[in-house]
Amino acid sequence: MDIAVIGSNMVDLITYTNQMPKEGETLEAPAFKIGCGGKGANQAVAAAKLNSKVLMLTKVGDDIFADNTIRNLESWGINTTYVEK
């Protein structure tokens, strides 16, 4: 491995609105997106994009969101051997 990353691996739940809410206001979001993030995961992906061999060490939950983040790391060629559920 060229780079080992120890850090967070998160799910980003993103909503989009047509305006910023005013204090106390509730808005309906016309769009919603699920993405992958976390400081460690973002650094691992950045290093992989630079053609480094990357090993990610992190702990995730045991659910569909965690499975999605692991697949995302693997799609960038990141070694997830030490991603623990």
Residues 6+ apart with CB under 8 A from 52: 2, 3
Q: What span, in angstroms and rounded, lies between the C-alpha atoms of 56 and 54?
A: 6
Residue 58 is which amino acid? T
- B/e letters for 4-27, b = 16+ CB within 10 Å, e = fewer, are ebeeebbbeeeeeeeeeeeeeeee
Residue 36 is which amino acid? C
- In tens, the pLDDT along 9-65 reads 999 999 999 999 999 999 999 999 999 999 999 999 999 999 999 999 999 999 999
Range of the domain at 54: 3-84
- CATH number where 72 lies: 3.40.1190.30
The pLDDT of residue 1 is above 80: no
Number of domains in the chain: 1
